Chains A and B, each alone.
Chain A
Amino acid sequence: MDKKIRVLVAKPGLDGHDRGAKVVAAALRDAGMEVIYTGLHQSPEAIVEAAIQEDVDVIGLSILSGAHMTIFPKVLELLKKKRAQRIIVVGGGIIPADDMKKLEKKGVKKLFGPGTPTTEIIKWLKENVKTGKKRVKVQKKRRRK
């Protein structure tokens, strides 16, 4: 069976708007992905823990509150600490170009500016996400030994 791309979509931070995140989540589902939506006000710790338990391939964060410079690095740091760097981090929201560059340098794989068509996000994910299929196979091979 083909392994589906699993994406965790979260809306960290204090602001209470998750319409954008929900629209993206629904679009990813319609593109055949399994989307775990965790809702509003998630702490970086809760996001990373959920991503690990759900064994997702991607974390997608929607940040409008201006806290991107603290939240993205914190999520990356926690993933590293938990040895889950294989999970890639992408994001969207209102992020100044300067900050985008800094965040991508820190390890955020891709940032989508406001108004990015969902088709573009889907295309990027399909091209850049390695699903766990390979890992699963490796596991199998080892098991036969």
Chain B
Amino acid sequence: MKSLNKFLKDILKGSKPAIARAITIVENDSDYTLLKKLFRSSGKAYYVGITGPPGAGKSTLVNAIAKLLLKKKKRIGIIAVDPTSPFSGGALLGDRVRMTDLALNKNVFIRSMASRGSLGGLAQKTKDVALVLDAAGMDYILIETIGVGQVELDIAQVCDTTAVVGAVPGWSYPIIKTIATTGDGVDQVVVRIEEHRRYLTRSGKLESARKERLFSRINELIEERIRADLHKRLTTQPGLKKIIDDIYNRRRNPFDVAEKILRNSGFVF
């Protein structure tokens, strides 16, 4: 049986079974032990988001972009997020169908992910999964998510460059015509991604955007913990049913009750 150190070493040297297992762990576990260890080795990958409405051709484009990057001797991690059915909690993850060209390439790692609880098109855990791939030495991480309307902004917050696939009225960013099935125009997409990367790097915007993201990450982690703690305090509040009844009958009010719980929590004084 493997020790944690051996496991970490395997991930860092890019062993696929180790990466796969690590992703399962960060996806299912609320424990950050592994991510803490991997963080130090992350930050080298360039994150590209591919978003757009269902069926717009995202996976086909991801496949075509990855094939081009492979020619440049890059290692590529792909995260393909599909929605979890709110009714059953299950998910049908079908993006691999368009990526069969890459299935056996040793420089590509593809992981399908269900959005699970998160509201937007981007799974809450996507960042953690990307961190694993980043630490494992991927040069590019391509993240495919369904994005309609506002949701595409979600992925833009995680990625250095985001491409929106499909017709977007009023879109003021470079529009590149591609036929992803034949590869036409895909080289232009890669050129633009690299131009964008150079621009971000030179102007210092890459660094500041990444720092901002790290700030948000800390904020999220704090909020997540506080929210979970407060939720637990509320649900395990002695006499909760009575309190709710009292509020219902207007003998108490929700504001005072909330304040009391907050004060007792030690988070608010």
Of the candidates B20, B85, B103, B114, which one forms a contact with A55 in the assembled complex, judged by CB atoms under 8 Å apart?
B20
Residues in A with CB closer than 8 Å to B90 are: 4, 28-35
Number of chain A residues whose Cβ lies closer than 8 Å to a Cβ of chain B: 39
Q: Does A49 contact B (CB under 8 A)?
A: yes
Interface range for B: 35 or more
Q: Does B24 contact A (CB under 8 A)?
A: yes
CA distance A31 to B90 in the complex (A): 7
Q: When A and B form their complex, what is the total count of cross-chain residue pairs whose Cβ atoms lie within 8 Å?
A: 103
Known pairs A38-B97, A82-B17; A53 contacts B89 (CB<8 A):
no
Task: Write the chain A residue with the least CB distance to B3.
Answer: A142
- A3 and B28 contacting across the interface, CB-CB below 8 Å: yes
- Interface residues of B, dominant DSSP: mixed
Known pairs A35-B93, A140-B29; A53 contacts B34 (CB<8 A):
no
- A29 and B25 contacting across the interface, CB-CB below 8 Å: no
Q: Does B167 contact A (CB under 8 A)?
A: no
The distance from the CB of B122 to the nearest CB of chain A, in whole angstroms, is 17
- B112 and A36 contacting across the interface, CB-CB below 8 Å: yes
- B85 and A30 contacting across the interface, CB-CB below 8 Å: yes
Task: Write the chain A residue with the least CB distance to B105.
Answer: A49
Residues of chain A touching chain B, judged by Cβ–Cβ distance below 8 Å, are 1, 3-4, 25-26, 28-39, 41-42, 45-46, 49-50, 52-55, 82-84, 132-133, 135-136, 139-140, 142-143, 145
